């Protein structure tokens, strides 16, 4: 007797039954049962990509590309379906039609957060949605830290993309460390508190992630990643490394008029207000607006709250091209 979600049957897996992930036994307090929607849980290795709900544009981008690279290599991406980084990680996996697992902090029939109802439906269709809570359980603040231990247990390694000192992603990392899982983190500016938690993890011994290839330090996925790397270029490259040509700054722009190319050169991944661009390039707001609109329609830039613009990842490898624009992932 399970309520309908319109997403196919809800599977109920008691502890130890067929389909029960043995990794959960590593937990001190393993859940008594699991409820699951969509495909069966893919076998390990799995990588968790987690981070802040209030994420920056750049953070969302990193999570999405990282997840896309992993999923393209056939490695399931585990996350919490929250707004922000979590949602972006699921989206990245869905972008390349790869495996992804969402672990909820509420009953499986409840779409929470409501803004991610559509995302939930997509994951249930092409990935796995699971929870320890019986159907009908409402989301509550104390359920999410509990949920985090399951994410940590299911994952072979946890990557923290953007987390402040108080972020829930740190609890996932703590659980992972307790379970002996590998913890990795994407560093951020030391001036910004947006990444202070992630930076602290690195100081405490987490492996820094500059590019997807850094994940080869996780033995279980090293082979899969190496093979994928042979097939395609990774979406999250390390721009700082010599020999790595795929950065935002040298994305294919050859077909653009000279003025727009020059404009693009002034726009980085950090948001900038058009007034500053106009001043720097000696353009009138009217001229500038037209070029910006053009670039936006081609996906080279994105307009952010505050009217700021930032470089966008339009020139992705073909396989990674997102269908609907990535915006609104929340956060």
From candidates 14, 134, 136, 325, binder to another protein by CB under 8 A: 325
Of 26-34, 132-140, 153-161, 283-291, which segment contacts another protein by CB under 8 A? 283-291
Q: Does 31 bind another protein (CB under 8 A)?
A: no
Q: Does 61 bind another protein (CB under 8 A)?
A: no
- Closest distance of CB 293 from another protein, Å: 4
Question: Helix, strand, coil shares of the chain as percentages rounded to 5?
Answer: 40, 15, 45
The H helix count followed by the E strand count for the chain is 10, 11
Pick out residues in 76-135 that bind another protein (CB under 8 A). Answer: 83
Contact residues for 131 (Cβ-Cβ < 8 A; gap 6+): 34, 35, 103, 104, 105, 106, 107, 108, 137, 147
- Closest distance of CB 9 from another protein, Å: 32
d(CA 82, CA 144): 10
Helix ranges restricted to H, 114-193: 117-126, 143-154, 169-178
Q: Does 141 bind another protein (CB under 8 A)?
A: no
Helix ranges restricted to H, the chain: 57-72, 85-95, 117-126, 143-154, 169-178, 196-203, 219-231, 258-265, 274-281, 285-297
Q: 13: left (phi > 0), else alpha (psi -120 to 50), else beta? A: beta
Q: Does 1 bind another protein (CB under 8 A)?
A: no
Q: Rank residues 265 and 280 by Cβ distance to another protein and give the closer one.
A: 280
d(CA 326, CA 84): 12
What kind and span of H or E run contains 12? strand 11-14
Q: Does 280 bind another protein (CB under 8 A)?
A: no
Q: Does 259 bind another protein (CB under 8 A)?
A: no
Instruction: Determine if the peptide bond prior to 12 is cis (ω within 30°).
Output: no
Q: Rank residues 17 and 279 by Cβ distance to another protein and give the closer one.
A: 279
- Closest distance of CB 209 from another protein, Å: 24
- Closest distance of CB 65 from another protein, Å: 19
- Closest distance of CB 292 from another protein, Å: 6
Q: Rank residues 188 and 331 by Cβ distance to another protein and give the closer one.
A: 331
- Closest distance of CB 256 from another protein, Å: 14
Residue 240, number of CB atoms within 10 A of its CB: 9
Q: Does 179 bind another protein (CB under 8 A)?
A: no
Residue 217's nearest CA partner among 258, 159, 160, 141 is 159
Q: 299: left (phi > 0), else alpha (psi -120 to 50), else beta? A: left
Strand order from edge to edge, sheet including 157-160: 11-14, 33-38, 128-131, 100-103, 77-79, 47-50, 157-160, 182-185, 207-208
Q: Does 272 bind another protein (CB under 8 A)?
A: yes
From candidates 33, 125, 178, 296, binder to another protein by CB under 8 A: 296
From candidates 229, 290, 317, 322, binder to another protein by CB under 8 A: 290
Size of the site for another protein (CB under 8 A): 38
- Closest distance of CB 324 from another protein, Å: 8
Q: Does 303 bind another protein (CB under 8 A)?
A: yes
From candidates 163, 291, 311, 316, binder to another protein by CB under 8 A: 291
- Closest distance of CB 219 from another protein, Å: 37
Which residues are near another protein by CB under 8 A? Answer: 53-54, 83, 192-194, 271-276, 278-279, 284-286, 289-294, 296-297, 299, 303-308, 324-325, 327-328, 330-331
């Amino acid at each position: 007797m399970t309520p309908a979600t319109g997403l196919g049957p809800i599977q109920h897996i008691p502890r130890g039954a067929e389909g029960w992930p043995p990794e959960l036994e590593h937990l001190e307090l393993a859940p008594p049962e699991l409820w699951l929607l969509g495909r069966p849980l893919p076998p390990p290795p799995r990588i968790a990509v987690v981070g802040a709900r209030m994420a920056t544009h750049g953070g969302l981008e990193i999570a999405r590309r990282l997840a896309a690279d992993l999923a393209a290599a056939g490695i399931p991406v585990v996350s919490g379906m929250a707004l922000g980084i979590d949602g972006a990680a699921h989206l990245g996996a869905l972008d390349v039609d790869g495996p992804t697992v969402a672990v909820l902090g509420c009953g499986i029939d409840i779409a929470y957060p409501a803004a991610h109802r559509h995302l939930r439906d997509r994951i249930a269709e092409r990935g796995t949605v699971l929870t320890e809570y019986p159907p009908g359980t409402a989301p509550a603040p104390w359920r999410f830290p509990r949920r985090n231990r399951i994410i940590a247990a299911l994952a072979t390694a946890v990557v923290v993309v953007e987390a402040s000192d108080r972020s829930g992603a740190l609890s996932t990392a703590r659980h992972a460390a307790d379970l002996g899982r590998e913890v990795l983190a994407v560093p951020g500016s030391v001036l910004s508190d947006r990444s202070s938690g992630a930076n602290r993890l690195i100081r405490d011994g987490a492996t820094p992630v500059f590019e997807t290839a850094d994940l080869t330090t996780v033995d279980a996925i090293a082979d899969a990643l190496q093979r994928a790397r042979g097939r395609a270029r990774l979406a999250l490259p390390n721009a700082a490394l010599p020999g790595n040509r795929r950065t935002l700054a040298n994305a294919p722009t050859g077909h653009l008029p000279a003025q727009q190319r020059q404009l693009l050169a002034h726009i980085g991944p950090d948001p900038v207000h058009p007034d500053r661009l106009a001043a720097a390039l000696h353009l009138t707001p009217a001229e500038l607006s037209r070029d910006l609109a053009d670039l936006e329609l081609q996906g080279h830039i994105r307009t952010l709250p505050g009217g700021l613009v930032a470089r966008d990842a339009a020139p992705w490898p073909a396989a990674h091209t997102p269908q609907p624009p990535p915006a609104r992932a929340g956060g």
